[in-house]
Structure 1
């Protein structure tokens, strides 16, 4: 099993996938959990949205409100009136969605519309990506 870690307690550094089998001890130091290998000390990635945000931006994610980091490339529908984005090809009452703050809606509206209108690539088996 691999676990996401960084070299600094604030999780600002590069994310490394540390193999659990390489850990020799797990310790609490200065109120932070630390993973120790024979050579290094690592800090587990703290699982809150603010810590994750800088690590996923380069993968197409954007903060649309205080509760949502959205993969902008996966948006399929935009409901401007209700400030929602959807990810399913066909919308149903079970479709996943994310909310957008009013402030962010005005900033990303153009980008969302461009993403939705962009032709999807076909895979080798003929399915859209």
Structure 2
């Protein structure tokens, strides 16, 4: 995926590296373990394009790569990614979806 660094330089990243997409002030941010990038599109378009490979909309401000979720914190209502300190919020209506996704993944 071709993205922009925060200073506007084009950069290529692999979709598997993406932890989640977020929207802030009409700008899409792509979050990875290595950093944060910008992608010129909308969250709806991203969800439509990536839903078939494991990306889910978990809040109105994010689309998350569920394959990279390491845990769900029900108290803070956030999903966490691996050993990093990165996390993003889960809306109340999507809590059951996250729990089911993680349960299904554990069964595999």
Say whether the fold is shared (TM-score over 0.5): yes
Bigger relative contact order, structure 1 or 2 (CA pairs below 8 A, ≥6 apart) = 2
Q: Give the SS at the match of 1:81.
A: coil
Larger radius of gyration: 1
TM-score, structure 2 as length reference: 0.56
Q: Does 1:96 align with 2:90?
A: no
Cα-Cα RMSD: 2.4
1:55 is aligned to 2:49: yes
Q: Is the 8 A contact 1:77 1:85 kept in 2?
A: yes
Corresponding pairs, count: 72
- Residues 72 and 98 in structure 2, CA contact (< 8 A), matched pair in contact too: no
Runs of 4+ aligned structure 1 residues displaced above 3 Å come to none
CA distance in 2, matches of 1:110, 1:59: 17
Q: 1 CA distance for matches of 2:107 and 2:81?
A: 14
